Chain A
Amino acid sequence: MSAMVEAVDVHKSFGALPVLKGISMTIQKGEVVCLLGPSGSGKSTFLRCINHLEPMTSGRIHVDGQRIGYHERHGKLYEMSGTELARQRRDIGMVFQRFNLFPHHDVLTNIALAPTLIRGEGREQANARARALLKLIDLEGRESAYPYQLSGGQQQRVAIARALAMNPKLMLFDEPTSALDPELVGEVLAVMRKLAADGMTMLVVTHELGFAREVADRVVFMDQGVVVEEGPARSVIDSPQHERTRAFLGRMH
């Protein structure tokens, strides 16, 4: 196995407020890792550093061997241009807590626009792939619906399909079920389970312990900007070693 994500000593501050205090993490190809921790622990910020939506303060992140966000020359880091960043982000899919579908496009265009515009795929080919993805997320026949006509769970599934249409090597999920009504959480997790079973490399920030326990190869528990504990999903969730992990999991059950 080789590493898909390699993060070394990632620091991030918002002004004077340190949010990440040296996060190091390796995610192997095909691995599913869940990031757990109380809100404000820096999980989402770390996830957003991986595709440089959030520029880090120091440290380095490689995705599939590529340094993310910066060129290193003569001991200095030069931030990449918007176009260079766009090139790197093509291969990293991301799903947001609040879906962020494009409200002025129908479902099919939401999914097929990026492949045609950015990858230069033919419209027919992109549409065919979009339809196949609609089948995967169990929304066949809804291609001409607009986002506002869909439930939150349906919107989030379309958002997953939109990210998958770019054929990413890595999928980042930022609390994908936190904005959903409880009865809609299951359908989104089901799609994510399928992806995991297909061998997609996934990093998931979540509060869904059941999903983490069942689907994740590994969980990482973060608190106050540091990694407190990590290990195989079942052993960390069922028998946490660290006091802070125990306290957090105790509150969740």
Chain B
Amino acid sequence: MSTRISKAGRLLDRNKRLSFTFNGRNLFGFQGDTLASALLANDQVLVGRSFKYHRPRGFVSSGVDEPNALMSLGHGGNFEPNRSATTVELVDGIEAVSQNHLGSLDWDLGFINNFFAKIFPAGFYYKTFMKPRFAWKHLFEPIIRNAAGLGRAPSLPDEAAYDYFYAHVDILVIGAGMAGLLATYELAKSGLKVTLVEQKHYLGGYALSDDFEVDGVAVPKWLENIEKKLIDSDNVQIKKNFTAIGVHDHGYLIGCENLEVAEKMGRSSIRHRLWRLRTKQIVLATGAIERPLIFAGNDIPGVMLSSAALDFYKLYGVSPGDRTVVVTNNDSAYLTAINLYNAGLSVPVVIDVREESSGDLFESLRSMGIRIEYGKGIASVLGKKRVKAVELCSLTGEGSVQETIECDSVIMSGGWSSAVHLWSHCGGRLIWNDQLDTFLPDASKSPIDENGEDFIAVVGAASGSFWPSEVVQNVKQIVQKIQKKFKTSKVKSSSISIQEIKYGDSNSKYFTPEGASEKLKSKCFVDFQNDVKLSDLRLATQEGYESVEHLKRYTTLGMATDQGKLSNINGLKYLADFLGREINEVGTTTFRPPYTPISLGSIAGEARKGLFKPVRKTTLHLWHEANGASWEPVGDWRRPYAYLKKNETIEQAVSREVTNTRNALGILDASTLGKIIVSGPDAANFLDLMYTNMISTLQVGRCRYGLMCNENGFLFDDGVVVRLAEETFLCHTTTGGADRVYSWMEEWHQTEWWNKRVFIQNVTEQFTQITIAGPKSRLLLEELGGLDVSRVSLKPLDYLEGELAKIKARVFRISFSGELSFEIAVPSQFGLEFWEKCLETGSQFGISPYGTEALHVMRAEKGFIMIGDETDGTVIPQDLNLGWAVSKKKKDFIGKRAQERIFMNDPNRKTLVGLSLQNSSEKIPDGASVIIGGVDQANDNVIGHVTSTYFSPTLDKPIAMALLKDGKNLLGRSIEIPVDSEKILKAIVSEPKFYDAEGNRQND
């Protein structure tokens, strides 16, 4: 069994006992444990179930590559599924629950799948479940969906907080193993600013578990000394629990700092922090990842990587079992064997697929009297929920059993893959190295930054320098290169003497036995989590899925949560063997971010709830809020849709607001409308190009309704243009269009008509704009005092500037409601004061605020168009009977040429008309289609759609506007509006003007 061993456990503080639960069972661990090591110390070897066959699974690795030990942590708003126990630092009170089983972890009903495994090989679902057709959606798929998935979904919103940090970094060293620490130390010595990040909660990497000596001390001690020096160094920053997630263009790096422990201990309010780093130089010291060997039963709990076993033992003082069989293709598993043996555990045999080995470790093994079997493999591992024995066989041949060796754990090593993911993220190419049996960064095709220069250097095992003395040499070279790049004065690198352990050559065998029968192949797991077996790879290649990507997609190899860290290379090796090609020809799939999965919460950062797309607020926002506003989002703003009084429905409120404005006095916050100042000697001329109308003929002090089209001729914004002075214009835009129109003008000015002397300024937020509308609006303005707003002095479309109620104001006599109406702009800081004065003074005239819906009802009653309702990106002004606002005289304006094209003059174009219902008082539905000539051939008879529709309180009947094909010629005709399968409304086509068509009210 797995137990705690007192001799080892470098990271543990045995004085601090921590309690936690697994599947409800109370367990204990120590400060410094990971959840994985603590579970293993409690002999919890079975920790999960596989995705497809629900096979029992145990720990394979001790790090981020762990595919099996996924569990759910916490509960309620802190619940988190699919957490790999090897990456969770133990704290008091963790509640862990295993996943993906029906019934208990030990007795999983889902295991029944395993009995059907033969019928369910890779891609079986492509070949069946097709009949009867509806059964896929209603029977087969639901079964598959419920069986799939790993953990449960959280049921409550996340309670935690996340944030972003930004930093500029000269040199970022990723990975604090021996290479990373040494590189940081050497770079820092030459005065460079270095940031060192490490994904684990401790520094040292695999070297911390190693047995060699440096400068006469054991390597862990030596690393500790370097760490101390770095901590004292002013130009070094060290971040633990920090995973470099992705390298992006131009030296941009996303990193995720895991603050879960600090959060749980109350030292941090943040759970995960996403770092956005702009680096000048990245040094990858990401090490290597050990690969499993493939043999039948290699997924049975108790089979783990030799590096994991060594980590568990050295760092956490946990044994993998009492009797451990070792199987390997290289010497690194020897080190683990030696350590286990020295801990007093039994190592009955080391099975080595090589013919022989030399080197120091071999010598040690031999001197200890440990049995080594060369040229042998494992035919099968026996056991169900735990390893019971292994069957020894010859490497060649089809796996006939030579001997059954009892054991309770198996450690394996199939060689090492350099962790080159980050190199690949941003375009770096990889190249297979046969001798080292791994992909390495191809220096001739490295990721480049904005200047076309390399910005990533790779050191240590990630670059193929696996041995300590190589690492020292390699770091030296890279440091010199970087010193040169940063032009620092040369500092001699430290001389380091390594008392190295000599390793023998590894070989590239990845499965045993070589002639495995089909039966064995169907128990040889390549991807543990997704249950991809050697037999699946065989089937896929047999069926022609022999591009790497096809293989991967067909079998789901490497698509598990470890993203193929353990499985990809073995799969590739199989493919290369099958095709009889070199791995380099077969290729690898490109690594994409994230290196390890990161929480969606961390990606979103602080931008949630109130900070998610913050609301733009006018100066009157708070007043609206306090006075019953029912909000409507418009662009980034919120505008009052209507102001609700007690016991009033929205419809009643809108109706009241319309009636009050039509009969007495209404007031509207129009501040969100865009306001753009265009000034300069060529301003008039420039605006002639921007608008379809002639703007240059506008008199100072006058207003004109203008239209803007794009170069395709389509209408995209409208608003009133005011000539404030000879060379100064104020252009109003729609609420949503302010930024768009501003950038539109800037773009044309800077990129096409740069010789025009104009200056464009977006002053939208500088002014509070208030509409006073209704027959009593002039009375109110007169009462406010300060400006002569009489019929004679302020005619329709006139503009005046002065003081109203002692506040500096611009008054425009323009109307979107059809009533006598004034729009008044006051500097923002006086907005609320002016608004309140209007309300106070206006109370004698029955003033009442109205919202956007009342505004829309009134404009529709008048037949005024609304951008976004009457337009949809395919409408030209002529369609909306606005041909009068399109100049025929101007030689050029934006949209003019496009409007001359064939389809723009097609008589069949849809034009704007009004609709009046016959015999019905209900509102015509929004967006309804309009047909003529009966519904039988409905789609041939469709002539258009309803663009705006309201119930008009003024006329006490429904009104609507529609865009209909050849609408002009339909005036007076009857059309149909199908509402649902039974109901068809009938309406008469009219001019789109329902109220005061002559405009007497607004022109009063």
Does A associate with B in a complex?
Answer: no
Report which A residues bind B (CB closer than 8 A): none
